[in-house]
Amino acid sequence: LNTMQPVTYGTLHRAKRAPLSDEFCAVLRTYDAATSGLLRNCTTVEHTRYYLTDSEYGALQAEETRCGTDKLRLIAQNLLAQFVRNQRTIAHNLTGVRRVCDAVMANCRYLMQDPDRYRQGHWGTHHSAFFRALAETGCLQELFERLLAVAESDTEDEQDRSMASFWTVKIATGFQLLKEFKKYCRTLHPQRLVLSQELTNGKAKRKLMAERLAQEWYRQKLQKVAPQQLILGLTVDCPWHLRLDRRQLKTHLNAINQHTRKLLPILITLVEPPLTTSRQQHLCTMIDIYADSWRQIGTGQQSGSMPNYEQLLASKTYAVQDLIERLGNGVRATKKCGLWEAPDEGLDWDEYPLGITRREGLSKA
């Protein structure tokens, strides 16, 4: 019994997978150190000395010698190119994808810890290309599912769950923005568009054109917060997207907690087949009601825990009226003329089947 441990998402999938080569992991660790310096506004290798470990700083110095420059951005770009080449030789099947995700979560220490200190950092500026590379081989889907499993698990450390929550929101928002960006691209003249095949063929000028178009749209869409968001695709025919069906969405809705409540409204917009606008609004409203209940009774609980079903029932019973009020359609006072009441102008009578009265319709809404 002393040797037994809880079965988690991580232990279940790592049981029989050999670790990747030291070279692959070393490239990841050095890239992680370089981008952590960029996040801290460092420009050269020397500027990172005060917070990196001796081994991390030594690895950056070795890259400085190999690349012939001390510019941190150029070193990070060279390391990313090495990672992309290595990843393509590994992530050609599900086992390889999982091994790459193992390496990312084990070796990118700053990527996983810095969100606590740099929530408003320029994550998109420094990491968009890295996450696009993961998406290209299917690793980003696997990484997202792992992080979401951590955020939903009650047995994980709170700091790890907070980190997982941060990155799941970033990734899901990235896919949401990519979906909107592709819609925008379809409205442009064909000469302004770049196709995915052109990027895979290594056409540098076309890639630069695609990057400029994407950055222009993201700046107009997000304005000041644009550098914080991940750009997960550059072309109108970008082939990857977040795979999420309604059954999976229902599972995540049932597992709602304080670490996933910000993510769920985003997932509602990404589910396939898509939900109607009214259905999305209703689900988001119920998530808000649940979050409000957590805040109301959270003072009597341990910090960071969500109320369970019994606690919600004990605190307040929610009815259709709560949903109506949250949607901004509170019941108006009706005018009476003797035995008759004036009709409610806010009701869509076409939605009520023949034989159902207004009062019955409200009770079944």
The whole-number pLDDT of residue 19 equals 56
Give the whole-number percent of the chain exceeding pLDDT 70: 75
The pLDDT mean for the chain works out to: 81
Query: What totals of helices (H) and strands (E) does the chain contain, helices first?
Result: 17, 2
Name the pLDDT band for 348 (thresholds 50, 70, 90): low
Instruction: Give the global pTM.
Output: 0.76
**CB of 79 closer than 8 Å to CB of 130:** no
Name the pLDDT band for 329 (thresholds 50, 70, 90): very low
Question: Does 152 score more than 70 pLDDT?
Answer: yes
Q: What residue segments make up the domains of the chain, in order of their start?
A: 1-113, 123-297
Question: Does 357 score more than 70 pLDDT?
Answer: no
The whole-number pLDDT of residue 8 equals 60
For residue 71, list its beta bridge partners: 44
**DSSP, res 245:** B
The whole-number pLDDT of residue 283 equals 86
| Spatial CA neighbour of 72 closest among 27, 32, 38 | 38
The average pLDDT across 64-70 equals 91
For residue 340, list its beta bridge partners: 337
Question: Does 178 score more than 80 pLDDT?
Answer: yes
Structure-model confidence comparison of residues 13 and 186, the more confident one = 186
Question: Does 235 score more than 70 pLDDT?
Answer: yes
Question: Does 310 score more than 90 pLDDT?
Answer: no
**CB of 307 closer than 8 Å to CB of 297:** yes
The whole-number pLDDT of residue 206 equals 85
The average pLDDT across 10-23 equals 58
Tally Cβ neighbours within 10 Å of residue 284.
Answer: 15
The whole-number pLDDT of residue 243 equals 92
DSSP string spanning 301-315? S-TTPPP-HHHHHHH
Question: Per residue in 237-275, pLDDT tens?
Answer: 998 999 999 889 988 988 888 899 899 999 999 998 888
Question: Does 29 score more than 60 pLDDT?
Answer: yes
The whole-number pLDDT of residue 297 equals 53
The whole-number pLDDT of residue 129 equals 93
Instruction: Report the range of poorest mean pLDDT among 37-46, 170-179, 319-328.
Output: 319-328
Instruction: Report the range of poorest mean pLDDT among 161-165, 175-179, 282-286.
Output: 282-286
How far is residue 132's CA from residue 238's CA, in Å, rounded to a whole number?
A: 10
The average pLDDT across 172-189 equals 93
Question: Per residue in 85-139, pLDDT tens?
Answer: 888 888 878 888 999 999 999 999 999 888 888 877 788 889 999 999 999 989 9
**CB of 236 closer than 8 Å to CB of 193:** yes
